[in-house]
A and B are shown apart, each in its own frame.
Chain A
Amino acid sequence: MKWYIARRLAWTVVATFIILSLTFGLMAASPDPQAASYVAQQVQEGGDFEEAQESYERARGLDQPLWERYKNYMIGMVTLDWGWSETRSQPVTEAILEAWPYSVMYATPALIISTVLGVAIGLYSATHRNSLEDYAASAFAFFGISIPDFWFGILMILIFGVWLGWIPIYYHSDVPWFSLQNVQQLIAPTLVVTLSSIASEMRFSRATALEYVNAEFVKTAKAKGADSWRRVTRHIFRPALVPLSTILVGDILNIVLVSSYLVEVVFGIPGLGQLSYKAIIQQDVALVLATVLIPTFIAIVGNLFQDLAYTVLDPRISYGER
């Protein structure tokens, strides 16, 4: 098992290395939108086209050989020197440090609520299969996986902000973090992110638990005198946790990352999503790259935890295979 964990950790490092290299390759091979706009601006102001291009490349270190640039890029990545954000006139890392609390503020509650409630409702549905509640939960889940997050956010703003006036139309970032007002303006975004992830979670945990509801060992537990609560929590939920752990970490994290990105754009929350969105609009390449890599790293680490959780949860796993 130690050997397995060591190999898994090694693979995480290798995968990160490959992904960073691939992104470097992508960036190097593609036309730099920022360069184009810089050069266009210089030419407009009467500068020479060639000169403008050269000065830009010099400033960004693009005149160095490819290998040199790759080396610098990788070293920069590892040492957390992620470049300079032109539009914000600050290091990329600093911009990210300023933005992340806003994302965490509502994404964490959403993640917790949707995990706890989603799994609970899914289990209930599975153990009360074909009941009225089960049908209602399934219908709700279909609704949740089908509704576009960003449109649902707009609907919330329209109904609760514009028509009812309960929530502000835009996020006010000057409000103190720990204040009732901040909680009030975070309710709607939290709900939107929760809905998209809770639906997937309900569907998956229902399907997983269904495989165990009629398992023989659950009948054994009943024959031992275990009450229904104990049967559901100890004998259905616990074994179901093994396949569930794969979606809890991997897929749900992904859903939350995506929907929080869109939700921040819709509600105007100055978190990582909006930082990335603004960087795209304003052609801030370094910042775009960083804000794409952060969720990617989160996903890689999530994958690692998922695999490690698996080894803890399932005593049957064989470590011979990868």
Chain B
Amino acid sequence: MMGGEDYRDRFEDIDWDDMQRSGLDSLTTQTAGFLASLGVVALLLVYDYVVVANDGPTFTTPFEWDVTQLDWLLVVTLLTVVFFAVYPLYDNPRMSRRYWREFRKNRAAVVSGVFLVGIFGLGLVGPLFIAKPDLNVLAQYQPPVFLSVPESTVGTCVGPVSDGMCHGTWQYPLGTTGQGKGIMKSVIYGMRVSLEVGLITPLIIIIIGTAVGTVAAYSGGIVDELLMRYVDIQLTFPTFFLYLLLLYLYGGTLFLLIVIFGITSWGSTARLVRSEALQRREEEYIQAAQSAGASEFWVIRKHLVPNVSNTVITNASLLIPSLILFEAAFSFLGLGDPTVPSWGQVISAGRSDIDTAWWISTIPGVFLFTTVLALNFVGDALRDALDPRAED
């Protein structure tokens, strides 16, 4: 068992200090900062839709960036992460150090974490500076740099040719596809796609799942019964085939894919939150808060939600790898967004050329595989660090 003092120091307790305050005072730096940032984003959104010409880019300096629906969603998600995950860690260095100590024990997870920061950092920033890969019939099937293939398979060789072999160049470090698209660029755009799927979808799942779970636990009776029966149905439907059907009927854009993933996958989270909430509700401090006259909403917001956050975060972190794998699978099947280069799409593009241009399918797969592997390692370590109850 943990000592009493240590036990207090957890994510779950971030709001203890301000529980006495009321009204406007209760607006912590955290919440205030978050709301202010949301305000700025909202203003920019209005600016984008009202002021900027329909097809024009939202920003022209320092770089040209036409902010899409998905980008807005990503910005909001990042803000949420900053204010509700990074800020509490910064605000409570003692807690952060303790988590770090736990996390550090797992060396594979630390390496994975560094790798993921690299991948997702590049995915976040890269597309701002690098143009989308272009069709180029003069650069089909270029091999990656340092590698060479018979000139006959390439068409026009961009790099040097010697002894009938076409050599790769730094212009296309990872080679090109049959359409002459640079794989390097596609891979970087693919990082962005995975980042968006892996970050926005869990946020949607967490928000809906937590809301439904607490409402079910608190209302009880017929509302609880209906919500949970609906969750049963949702969980019965195999996720992959539900996505498949919905993407077939409504899909076509990455934005919709993420929304579809998000609004159909919160079942298990809701179930977890409900059972956790039912347990917590019986505990003394919640009953004490209630008998002290705290409103239902206040109790949920200030006591229950922080207390189930560890469970929810752990659960979501375990969902992320499978979401990324699903996106890649659907892109591979041609149900993804054809306008956005993604890993699954490039793997699919190289499928028919596997005997001559093997690098097209394999290289993006390496990124997909290592990213998912790293996410699994980190998720595992996160579970161990956040949940002192789980032995293994």
Contact = CB atoms under 8 A, between A and B. Distances in A.
B332 interface: yes
Contacts, number: 112
Where chain B touches its partner, the secondary structure class is helix
Given A148-B365, A258-B240, A19 B233 contact: yes
A36 interface: no
A292 interface: yes
B385 interface: no
Nearest to B370: A146
Contact of A151 (B236, B249, B347): B347
A276 B392 CA distance: 40
Given A142-B376, A143-B373, A281-B334, A296 B233 contact: no
Contacts of B124: none
Nearest to B392: A210
A285 B365 CA distance: 31
B355 A151 contact: no
A55 interface: no
Interface residues of B, number: 39
A321 to B, nearest CB: 12
Contacts of B332: 150, 262, 265
A210 B333 CA distance: 39
Contacts of B329: 148-150, 258, 262
Interface string A41-79: 000000000000000000000000000000000000000
A299 B232 CA distance: 12
A19 B236 contact: yes
Contacts of B375: 146
A26 B236 contact: no
16 contacts: A15-B233, A19-B233, A19-B236, A145-B376, A148-B369, A150-B332, A151-B347, A154-B351, A155-B365, A262-B332, A288-B248, A295-B240, A296-B236, A299-B236, A300-B236, A303-B236
Interface of A: 15, 18-19, 22-23, 26-27, 30, 33, 142-143, 145-151, 154-155, 157-158, 162, 169, 207, 210, 254, 257-258, 261-262, 265-266, 276-277, 280-281, 288-289, 292, 295-296, 299-300, 303
Interface of B: 232-233, 236-241, 244-246, 248-250, 321, 325, 328-329, 332-335, 347, 351, 354-355, 358, 361-362, 365, 368-369, 372-373, 375-377, 391-392
